[in-house]
Structure 1
Amino acid sequence: MKIAVFGAGNIGCFFGAQLLHTGAHEVLFVGRQRVQNLIRNAGALTVVPVNRPTISIPADKVSFVTDLQDLIAFDPDYVLVTLKGPQVQAAFKELGDLRFDEKTVFISIQNGARNPDLIRTLVPGNLVLGGMVPFNVTISPEDGSRFCQGSGGTLYIEQSAKTEPMALALREAGIVIQVSGNITGVLYGKIATNLNNAINALSGIGLLAELSQRSYRHIWSRCITEALSVYFAAGIVSLPVWGFPTEFMPYMLSLPDFVCVLLFRNVIGIKPGAGSSMADDFVNGKPTEIGDLNGEIVRLADEIGKGDDVPYCRGVLWLVQEVERRQRSGWGGAGWRPKLTGEQIRVFCTAGASNTVAPAAVDILVTAILVVT
């Protein structure tokens, strides 16, 4: 089977390497020159799964291209789309008049709930399935060349007549996978748990360090509560991602610090040194997926007339957008990121993130918070 990884960054390289390692499939990695150079300079594509042996594939055995014409010429049976949400439209537009064979099946394994529908508009002649990855993958800080899984979890793929061959290939590669008949519910459940991505990025510290502090967990808890309320009002039935109801998470997050650390480290499996993908985006000066996460909750709330009921989701959204704006303007230098306390974020969310607050006042408040960092 011929499998292409479109957007071979952290997640794409992690799954692609495991599929290639089986020796049963042709795998083409399609990504940026920066990632190709990283693999070449390291001499291997190395991935570190949770609770499984490290996999290292010699660089000369990794088919990595940066030209999308090579993707078309490869004529894949399946394309795993692992692009960040903001990159999707631009990446597909680069194809121009080039077209995929109608046999090619696309599987969107990205954050957010709307990317599968977006991809369907971009490749209307092909089957597009949704998927969900419950964990983050980061590049090892020690040597900058290994793709490390941050925590455990099950990969979900939408059920269809064409799902099983890809599901089998992933299982044979040692990847835990579940086929779902309600991928939309799974994706919205993932958004609720992913609402901590932005909080972690704003904190400027690692995941376990952040989650060991009640002040940060309080922000996440409030964001989850707002999201679940909006889902209910919008008629969306979200499904749990971590094996227990999402509704239980606000209660779990209110437990004492040491209990939460034990849960996140030993039950959910977050590794020391792990961070969020949005924190990586801040460091690399890249656009974030905030619009697909907190932005999706705010969009839904505004759409159903509940915009004033999501101050925490809106506040975190605006703070991340302010960081992005400052990075685009060159403020703070390349890779600048804030180091906000949970209390600073809470104060902004309760005092500044309201539809009724004048933009000038919001700008003053955001600046006051970010400048002191």
Structure 2
Amino acid sequence: MQLAIYGAGSTGCYLGGLLQLCGHQVSLICRPRIRDAIINAGGITLTDYRGQNEKVMPASLITELAGETFDAVFVTLKCHQLASAVNDLKQLAEKGAELVFMQNGLDSLDAILNQLPKGAVYQGITPFNVLSLDNAHFHRGTEGSFLFHRTPITEQLAQHLSAIGFPCELQADMKPVIYGKLLLNLNNALNAIADQPIKTQLENHALRKVYAAAQREWLEVAKAEGVELVQFTAVKPSWMPIVLGFPNWIFLRLAKTMLDIDPLARSSMWEDIQLGRKTEIEFLNQAVVKRGEILGVDVSVNRKISSLIHSLECGDTVSLEELY
């Protein structure tokens, strides 16, 4: 198939590399900086915390669309970047491409959905962390498999990914999936504030208690909305805050899978803060606050986390003590 990754950064390059390994013709629609890095490195290097180490060159590297057509386009832009790309995305969909939006968080499509052809828009989720390293090297630091809205195209891709040892899941209804993923993604901001590797952060009982409190707020909001979250870990969503709150001597024994991650892995929001980029906090913890306020649910922990991220975006210094 002719496939494309629109907005190929860390996650997009990793996904694009996997799909190229499956035998598809994959084009990366990316910034000149990414294109040049891939050319200079002789391809994309894919590694993970379990020993993956492969190198692949995409079929093409595109910095400006010129009428290309694709069977499917995976959109891996940040949530707040979608509005600026809507004309390109509309053009791609009108030429027959299925658009699969891979954004984390809530309401990311609200601003553009009515501008895109009906029947061309689907969603997907990347439940793991990918870190961008030098020389077009993209490293998966945590567990998880891609999740896609079920379509004839994604059914084929799921088979192909499984054949190279990278199984993915297909869902008919993505809302419970997105809600379930947000339960985990509430840690993205906390990790950026802590300025620690995720593994180190999760081994800190005080920080886990804050994470658990943020999760409880989201679970209450989802309950008020009547949405049952999809389970992403060995523990049911409703049990996650309980497990996180256990003292270390219990947690470190029970959460071996959760801690089976690269010791240096950090969240994408941490990377955004380090590079002075706008974060996706509006679609994560802040989205919980927005819904909670409407529904009358206490969301004070997510409100504080959101406030600290906005301070970091402005270049201010924050203290973990403000969360305890």
Same fold per superposition (TM over 0.5): yes
Q: Single out whichever of 263-272 and 279-288 deviates more from structure 2.
A: 263-272
Distance 1:250 1:190 in 2: 14
Q: Deviations over 1:319-372 (max 9, x none)?
A: 111221x24xxx6xxxxxx4633x3322xxxxxxxxxxxxxxxxxxxxxxxxxx
Q: Unaligned stretches of 5+ in structure 2?
A: none
Distance 2:231 2:79 in 1: 22
Aligned equivalent of 2:53: 54
SS in 2 for 1:64: strand
Aligned equivalent of 1:358: none
Aligned equivalent of 1:357: none
Q: Greater relative contact order: 1 or 2 (C-alpha under 8 angstroms, separation 6 or more)? A: 2
SS in 2 for 1:100: helix
Aligned equivalent of 1:107: 100
Q: Unaligned stretches of 5+ in structure 1?
A: 332-337, 347-373
Q: Is the 8 A contact 2:191 2:270 kept in 1?
A: yes
Distance 1:177 1:276 in 2: 21
Aligned equivalent of 1:221: 212
Offset, 1:257:
2.6
TM-score by length of 2: 0.91
Amino acid at match of 1:135: F
Distance 1:236 1:9 in 2: 31
Distance 2:109 2:167 in 1: 21
Match of 2:319 among 340, 346, 353: 340
Amino acid at match of 1:176: P
SS in 1 for 2:192: helix
Q: Single out whichever of 271-280 and 112-121 deviates more from structure 2.
A: 112-121
Aligned equivalent of 1:236: 227
Offset, 1:189:
0.7
SS in 1 for 2:131: strand
Change (3 A) 1:74 1:52: farther
Q: Single out whichever of 274-283 and 49-58 deviates more from structure 2.
A: 49-58
Aligned equivalent of 2:4: 4
SS in 2 for 1:320: helix
Amino acid at match of 1:273: L
Q: Is the 8 A contact 1:230 1:297 kept in 2?
A: yes
Aligned equivalent of 1:64: 61
Q: Single out whichever of 2-11 and 256-265 deviates more from structure 2.
A: 256-265
RMSD: 2.3
Match of 1:322 among 298, 302, 311: 311
Amino acid at match of 2:319: L
Distance 1:260 1:5 in 2: 38
Q: Is the 8 A contact 1:136 1:149 kept in 2?
A: yes
> Aligned pairs, how many?
324
Aligned equivalent of 2:301: 312
Change (3 A) 1:88 1:267: same
- Map 1:30-109 to 2 at 5 A: 30-51=29-50, 53-58=52-57, 62-67=59-64, 69-70=65-66, 73-93=67-87, 95=88, 98=91, 100-101=93-94, 103-109=96-102
Distance 1:119 1:269 in 2: 38
Aligned equivalent of 1:137: 130
1:187 and 2:184 aligned = no
Distance 2:24 2:90 in 1: 28
Offset, 1:259:
4.8
Aligned equivalent of 1:204: 195
Distance 1:18 1:293 in 2: 27
Change (3 A) 1:245 1:118: farther
Offset, 1:264:
5.3
Q: Deviations over 1:160-206 (max 9, x none)?
A: 45532333343334322111123100101111111011000011111
Q: Is the 8 A contact 1:110 1:132 kept in 2?
A: yes
Amino acid at match of 1:313: N
Report sequence identity in percent.
Answer: 29
SS in 2 for 1:179: strand
Change (3 A) 1:38 1:294: same
Offset, 1:149:
0.5
Offset, 1:117:
5.1
Amino acid at match of 1:138: L
Q: Is the 8 A contact 1:80 1:106 kept in 2?
A: yes
Q: Single out whichever of 174-183 and 223-232 deviates more from structure 2.
A: 174-183
Q: Is the 8 A contact 2:8 2:30 kept in 1?
A: yes
